Amino acid sequence: MKKIVIIAGMSMIFSAQANAQTETTKAETKAAVKEAKMITKAFGGELKKALKKAMKAGGPINALNVCNTEAMPITKKAAIDHNALVTRVSLKNRNPENIPNEWQKLVLEDFDARAAKGEDVKKMGYSKIVEADGKKTLRFMKALPTGGNCLECHGSKIDADVQAKLKELYPDDKAVGYEKGQVRGAVVVVKELN
Ligand code: HEC
């Protein structure tokens, strides 16, 4: 008889703990996603600013060189600044460093499927909390839509001189042939929860 009482008591304690955990996870998740969105916005803004400035200063060839030398340092700086893993990935990557891993690939494929069904790429995102070794980590992705000016370097009618420069810098370039409105890739933020 006594044993049963103890077991019942313990299970109550466990279920109370489980509930408390679910609650903190909800609040934590919300805060973490909010932060990831902020990181993505700040980082994306910096990249766009650098691209715009370079296009204005010397057209696509100049901007290509700027992307080639600046995009990765800007990305790495964002990661350090925000104490998170910050990357850009694409199913058809230009930079060999931007190949998605297994879960990122699945999310990108899902983004493509959703875009094909007419969902607005600008609003497309993904977030999930994963747990390993007792640590909770947020996986966050935000789709990057192919806008009009992206086509100058990622479209199907790229100027011959731009094409030549791309070939020289990226012999394995897959990031061409896009159309306006498609998913060009995504920003990834992976951050451990506090
Ligand atoms: C002036 C040429 C140019 C323009 C315009 C341009 N890109 Fe790129 N893009 C590049 C180059 C070069 C790289 C490879 C260097 C890097 O960023 O790591 C690249 C890489 C990327 C990547 C990283 C994944 C990969 O393929 O390596 C994404 C995502 C991307 N571009 C999105 C865009 C979007 C969205 C636009 C429009 C807002 C855009 N690009 C406009 C030249 C350009």
**pLDDT tens-digit readout, 121-133:** 999 999 999 998 8
What is the rounded CA–CA span in Å between residue 122 and residue 147?
10
Report CA(137)–ligand 1 centroid distance (Å): 28
Residue 155, pLDDT > 60, answer yes
CATH number of 33-192: 3.30.450
Pocket of ligand 1 contains residue 64 by CB under 6 Å:
yes
43-68 mean pLDDT: 94
Q: What DSSP letter does each residue of 33-72 carry, written as one string? A: HHHHHHHHHHHHHHHHHHHHHHHHHHHHHHHHHHHHHHHH
| pTM exceeds cut of 0.85 | yes
Q: From the alpha carbon of 186, which atom of ligand 1 is closest? A: 29
- Angle, nearest 10°, between helix axes 2-81 and 160-169? 120
Q: What is the pLDDT of residue 167?
A: 96
50 pLDDT band, cuts 50/70/90, is very high
Ligand 1 close to Cβ of residue 104 (< 6 A): no
Point out the ligand 1 atom lying closest to the alpha carbon of residue 175: 26
CB of 155 shorter than 6 A to ligand 1: no
Q: Give the domain ranges of the chain.
A: 33-192
Is residue 71 in contact with ligand 1, taking CB distance under 6 Å? yes
- Look at residue 120 and give its three-state secondary structure: coil
67 Cα: distance to centroid of ligand 1 (angstroms): 7
One-letter amino acid at 41 equals: K
